[in-house]
Structure 1
Amino acid sequence: MRGGRHGLATRARTFFGVDSDWERVPADPARTQRIDALIALVALAAGSLGVELLRSIDSLGNVQDSWLWPHVAVVLGTVPLAWRRRWPLAVATVLSVHLFVFGIVMPAVAVSLPLQAVYFVALFTGVAWARDRRLMLGVVAGVLLLMFGWLTWQLAIGSGVEQSLARDGRPMKRQGLFSPTSAYVVYSLLVNVVYFGGAVLGGQAAWRSAFQRHRLADQARTIDEQASTLQQQAVIEERLRIARELHDVVAHHVSVIGIQASAARRVLRRDPAVAEQSLRSIETSSREAVTQMRGLLGTLRSGDAAGTEPRAPEPGLADVPHLVASSTTDGLRATCHVVEDTPGAVDAVPGAVGLSLYRTVQEALANVRRHSTATSASVVVRVAHRPDRGFAHGYAEVEVLDDGRPRSGTSGSGLGLLGVRERLATHGGVSEIGPRVTGGYRVRVRMPLPDGPS
């Protein structure tokens, strides 16, 4: 029994929003105030008209001969509506007291249609616009107790019911299933239950509807903010990718240019033909570097991808042999071996994975030229679709080996290896980077292949 009461109380608290910290306030307080003032003015005019109609048909009872006090009652009962949404609970309380007091001293005025509509609107607004939901429940409970207490008192005093039902001073005879007295009492109670219950439930429905609109608007704002954040993150990630691309392109081509320029300077006087060939290689490398950097910078400048020209195709794993061949100079001999379990496996590697492995080889060869005494380097490209530990659908791998030792005074910034690790984190790959026991240096990077055709 106690659990049932607790569950009922919890559902009631949830329905009336007692634990909600949301406060319903008008979107435009000034406009709301003007509308409420206009409603109060209309109610005042309707109430005054109702009083005059009641006076005209001799229905005001003991105040029939007075024109002032019925209109005063109407003014006191309608003017507070001008602040019904500014102070909803206060207005609901004041007009409930008005109903109680004038229901005793001027019942004909209190039960007139205009004032009944005013009382309904006041209670409805109190429930619909109350900021403090806990206080609202207390006020509503007090109003209901007051109103039904007043109704009980009206029905109980003296012979009020019998007098209401009398016809020419004679008691009404029983004609239906119920006695006139019991039917009158039950009917009056039902009318007031519907009246006050409709005001309370209607007001709560209006509050919940406004609360749902607020939640939907808040969710829409949150979604917009998240979308904006994701868009900014995408821009940042794209710029970081371009930064890594610029680093790899510049590092590779500048190191090649430096080595070729040094060779050209040495042979310029001994063999002009060889020197000319070296200078042509420098020119080719320079043009390639400028072309790739222009493409990357063009992407970086474009704030919106829509309407821009498509970027040139980015290199992939199949371009590694050409990269290795272009890295061969007088001081460094570079070779490349491709190992694939099925013909065309290298070409089928997804573009993002292939680009990351290509940049890894590019960075490793640039480091060999800049920071090593190596005279030879070998690159192995492997693609296997058989499952392996940690690679359920196979892998693509590059391995760069050299036979040199670190060159003193040539420590780098570390951005190249940082870019390699970032690409590994993006694709979920593994790496082995460091000196070999037998001498030289190894850079081995393996990345997973996706399930099915790319």
Structure 2
Amino acid sequence: MWDRLNRLFDADDAWIRPLPEHYFRADAVLALVVFACSAVGVEILRSMGVLADESAPVWAQYLAMASVAALLAVRRRFPLTTGMGATAHLLVVGSVMPLVMGQVSQQVLYFVGVYSAVAWARDRRALIGVAAGIAAALAVWMVWYTALGSGMQQILDPVDDVDRSSGLLPPVPAYLLYTVLINIVYFGGAAALGIASWRGARRRHDLAEQARTIEQQADALRDQAVVEERLRIARELHDVIAHHVAAIGVQAAAARRVMDRDPDSAAGALRTIEDSSRSAVAEMRALLGALRSDDPGSRSEGDASRPTAEPSRPTGEASRSAGHGLADVARLAASHDTAGFSTTVSVAADAGHPLEEVPPIIGLSLYRTAQEALANVRRHSTANRAGVVLRTGEGPDRTPYAEVEVLDDGRPRTGTSGSGLGLLGMRERVRSHGGECEIGPRVTGGYRVRVRLPYRPGTDGGEE
């Protein structure tokens, strides 16, 4: 029984219904309007002679009407007090001034009082006690009024001339049953409307909270998208600029050393510088073209187009992008070859997962990893050779992966510590694809950069 009452009145819900703005002003106006209606109603009844048998003086009648109307002014601020006060008023006035209590405007006041107690109660558990007290008080009052008061006589007077043999029930039990049902529907309806009002307000509050949460999440996602785009642009700029500038610096130093004794080698180094500078400009234009494109997909890091094959395409071409792939790794490694430094590229692809199956965005990320790793070898290592290995395979969960590994045989060069942004970009790429990386010195000497990225065949490899 207690559990049913808890569910009926939502006693386990700690939510407190917020009071609307200017609620007291609205309730005060309501109280005045209802009091005015009651006064008009009483005077109409008095003019009709209905109140001829009312023994209470006129001022007492108006005091009774004003006191219950005053409760409505605080019905939302003190809802439980209003409900109990309205019930007590009904019992007292109904005993001493039943004709005044019985008019329609007064009944509306009692109805609103009970409704407000249920609809606006802040302590829902206390509401159960108040509701039970109101029900018990009304039941006791009805028994007392009909058994000990003048109620029975008021029942008997209208039925003296009624044919007692007609109807399903005798007149007196029928009259009592009718009165009980009327009161159950009256007060039960007030309580039911109050419950519906409270639950409706609760649902509206929940919907408003959900809307605010969705808006906040949308703002957070927009901010996150902006941050991720900035990071992506920073990675692309770092990879494009740092790689080519480093290559230009290495080749320029080599040309300077052999310019006098080996002009042909110097010329070759200068040609490499020229090619590297042209490539840098082309990639910068491609990156800017992707950023200026109206197609959101063209701004993703995984654009499948390969602009380096046609570096002279117009800037406005829609397919322009700063994307590269695994097919470009060999050319990338060869661009680092000099008289004192050599690179090798090997492929260890699984028979079921050829390199061509790797999605473009995965290929781009692995290309950028190899690019950064080789640039770091040239800038920060004493190595005279580096090896790049491309692998594909399946993990323990049979998810295919693509991997790049860059190994060198050198030691850290003193005075060449970098900013760390390149390694940070590698880890960000790995994290965005849910992959794994191994970056650090090898036990046997040299340095290893290994990045493994899972993918799903037949997709573009982008984040879900």
Q: Does the TM-score normalized on the shorter chain lie above 0.5?
A: yes
Q: 1:353 aligns with which of 349, 354, 362?
A: 362
Matches within 5 A, 1:105-144: 105-144=96-135
Match of 1:417 in 2: 423
Structure 2 runs not aligned, ≥5 long: 300-315
Match of 2:313 in 1: none
Match of 1:407 in 2: 413
- Summarize the Cα distance change of 1:53–1:374 in structure 2 as closer, same or farther, 3 Å threshold: same
**Separation (CA, whole Å) in 2 of partners of 1:294 and 1:35:** 66
CA contact (8 A) 1:368 1:402 kept: yes
Compare 91-100 and 106-115 and name the one that shifted more. 91-100
Please give the per-residue CA displacement for 1:364-393, whole angstroms capped at 9, x wherever unaligned. Answer: 211221122222333233345xx4x43614
Compare 321-330 and 68-77 and name the one that shifted more. 68-77
Match of 1:394 in 2: 400
**Separation (CA, whole Å) in 2 of partners of 1:141 and 1:391:** 62
Compare 415-424 and 33-42 and name the one that shifted more. 415-424
Match of 1:263 in 2: 254
Could you tell me how far 1:358 is from its partner in structure 2?
A: 0.6
Compare 168-177 and 71-80 and name the one that shifted more. 168-177
**Separation (CA, whole Å) in 1 of partners of 2:149 and 2:205:** 53
Tell me, yes or no, if structure 1 residue 75 matches structure 2 residue 66: yes
Tell me, yes or no, if structure 1 residue 239 matches structure 2 residue 245: no
Match of 1:165 in 2: 156
**Separation (CA, whole Å) in 2 of partners of 1:292 and 1:132:** 67
**Separation (CA, whole Å) in 2 of partners of 1:64 and 1:381:** 106
Matches within 5 A, 1:14-413: 14-28=7-21, 30=22, 32-63=23-54, 66-157=57-148, 160-166=151-157, 173-270=164-261, 274-289=265-280, 292=283, 312-340=321-349, 345-384=354-393, 387=394, 389-390=395-396, 392-413=398-419
Match of 2:306 in 1: none
Q: Percent identity?
A: 52
Tell me, yes or no, if structure 1 residue 445 matches structure 2 residue 458: no
**Separation (CA, whole Å) in 1 of partners of 2:446 and 2:59:** 111
Secondary structure of 2:335's counterpart equals helix
Amino acid at match of 1:446: R
Match of 2:308 in 1: none
- Summarize the Cα distance change of 1:283–1:210 in structure 2 as closer, same or farther, 3 Å threshold: same
In the superposition, the TM-score normalised over structure 1's length comes to 0.85
- Summarize the Cα distance change of 1:298–1:129 in structure 2 as closer, same or farther, 3 Å threshold: farther
**Separation (CA, whole Å) in 1 of partners of 2:321 and 2:445:** 39
**Separation (CA, whole Å) in 1 of partners of 2:434 and 2:180:** 74
CA contact (8 A) 1:60 1:106 kept: no
Compare 367-376 and 335-344 and name the one that shifted more. 335-344
Structure 1 runs not aligned, ≥5 long: 1-7
CA contact (8 A) 1:55 1:64 kept: no
**Separation (CA, whole Å) in 2 of partners of 1:362 and 1:125:** 73
**Separation (CA, whole Å) in 2 of partners of 1:408 and 1:175:** 117
Could you tell me how far 1:113 is from its partner in structure 2?
A: 0.8
Please give the per-residue CA displacement for 1:190-231, whole angstroms capped at 9, x wherever unaligned. Answer: 111111111112111111111111112112222222232233
Could you tell me how far 1:110 is from its partner in structure 2?
A: 0.1
Secondary structure of 1:86's counterpart equals coil
**Separation (CA, whole Å) in 2 of partners of 1:306 and 1:368:** 33
Secondary structure of 1:347's counterpart equals helix
Please give the per-residue CA displacement for 1:36-93, whole angstroms capped at 9, x wherever unaligned. Answer: 2332222122211211122122222543695433233222222332332222222222
**Separation (CA, whole Å) in 1 of partners of 2:363 and 2:327:** 8
Match of 1:5 in 2: none
Secondary structure of 2:50's counterpart equals coil
CA contact (8 A) 1:127 1:203 kept: yes
CA contact (8 A) 2:298 2:321 kept: no
Secondary structure of 1:60's counterpart equals helix
Could you tell me how far 1:129 is from its partner in structure 2?
A: 0.9
Amino acid at match of 1:98: H
- Summarize the Cα distance change of 1:254–1:62 in structure 2 as closer, same or farther, 3 Å threshold: same
Please give the per-residue CA displacement for 1:232-275, whole angstroms capped at 9, x wherever unaligned. Answer: 23333333333333333333222212111212222344456654
- Summarize the Cα distance change of 1:66–1:178 in structure 2 as closer, same or farther, 3 Å threshold: same
- Summarize the Cα distance change of 1:160–1:128 in structure 2 as closer, same or farther, 3 Å threshold: closer
CA contact (8 A) 1:391 1:449 kept: no
Secondary structure of 1:392's counterpart equals coil
